[in-house]
Amino acid sequence: MAELLRSLQDSQLVARFQRLCGLFPAPDEGPRESGAGLSEGAARVPGVGHLSLANGKSSGGPPNGLRRDVAPQAYVQEYVVKNYFYYYLFRFSAALGQEVFYITFLPFTHWNIDPYLSRRLVMIWVLVMYVGQVTKDILKWPRPSSPPVVKLEKRVIAEFGMPSTHAMAATAISFTLLLSTVDRYQYPFVLGLVMAVMFSTLVCLSRLYTGMHTVLDVLGGVLITALLIGLTYPAWTLLDYLDSASPLFPVCVIVVPFFLCYNYPVSDYYSPTRADTTTILAAGAGVTIGFWINHFFQLVSMPAESLPVVQNIPPLTTGMLVLGLTKFAVGIVLILLVRQLVQNLSLQVLYSWFKVVTRNKEARRRLEIEVPYKFVTYTSVGICATTFVPMLHSTVCFQVTLSGLSRFISLATTPSAPDVNVLPKTHR
């Protein structure tokens, strides 16, 4: 068993998969000298902290408790693509496991498909991502070495590898969606299962293709997610009622995630893991509080209860697509405005409180600044997405606009029938 685990963790296995898919290191590209200065390494890798260098100091950790500023894997290898089909396929698949997918897919599901499903998805997504992120910084297993592996992503190169949170998130989203809809909507279960497997498989393979994880990292992420889903699935129905259990429930939702973020495991060097974890937990807290506000104040209609409700999935029409995209665009614009406003205000307050120069961008990485400003920002985003955006969608003016747009689309897409009352003129 130990030999099998070592073989699955071998970087050469990842490199062979990349070569099989047509991804090769650039010719005459070798590793830089091991004696390169820290300033060179910090300049080569965007996103890797170099607070001490910015302050003109060669030793001593920054005030957030980090002991070293530059990641040990600061080498980024040039590459040559010989099969662009696999390149674009896996680059797109990798994007399905990144932040841009979740900040579009989850709100779209809430606003246009089913708020009940979005609540389930966010709940499991937050749990799985927190477990994965913390496990990374506890195990501290390195990512595949480069060379021989070609690494295509730079932002997360400073993070540890085990488990793959992309694989965990993709598996959690796809199979939570499957389990939550199988008794709620009428569709072939085999089709849903195949789509869930394909989605998670593509994301998992993309982590190998991009050189960010070993096979063991990916398999570990999938197995941990399967274990978490299996353990929590019997309690999903109970969790649906927690947001209406007590008026003090929002206090717990705020205090517990903030405590977990503030006491996140300390790494040897700065990585975006803590910031990403804070963003995820804060967004989950905001969404949960938003559902509680909707229920407590009866602001918007709540999603149907978690009873078996078999509904036929309506066919997708042009009118439905345009209306859904309109609601999505309005919601995203409002969310971005709230995010920018709250982020600027929270940073100004924290900079003033801790007497930090506003121009010092590196100060955002300090524990006492990074966690509060991200938590406040994305909690506000979650509340806005589940409360204020649906309220805007339900306003009279917005409904009238959508109704007029729907009629215009139906008239534009429906072929006009000939007027049978008009007879052709005859010439005598």
Q: Is 393 a catalytic residue?
A: no
Q: How far apart are CA 96 and CA 156, in angstroms?
A: 16
DSSP codes, 206-246: HHHHTTS--HHHHHHHHHHHHHHHHHHGGGHHHHHTGGGT-
Given the residues 50, 110, 166, 427, select the one marked as catalytic: 166
Q: Does the N-terminal peptide bond of residue 72 adopt cis geometry, omega within 30 degrees of 0? A: no
Q: What is the 3-state secondary structure (H, E, C) of 94-132?
A: HHCCCHHHHHHHHHHHHHHHCHHHHHHHHHHHHHHHHHH
Q: Could you say which DSSP state residue 34 is in? A: T
Any idea which residue has 């195949």 for tokens? 194
Q: How far apart are CA 300 and CA 298, in angstroms?
A: 6
User: 328 is written with which tokens?
Assistant: 């999505």
Cα 395 from chain centre: 29
DSSP codes, 141-178: PPPPPTTTSPP---TTTTS--SS-HHHHHHHHHHHHHH
E-strand ranges in 269-326 read 311-312
Q: Is 166 a catalytic residue?
A: yes
Cα 90 from chain centre: 17
Beta bridge partners of 186: 312
Given the residues 50, 213, 393, 427, select the one marked as catalytic: 213
Q: Which residue numbers are catalytic? A: 166, 213
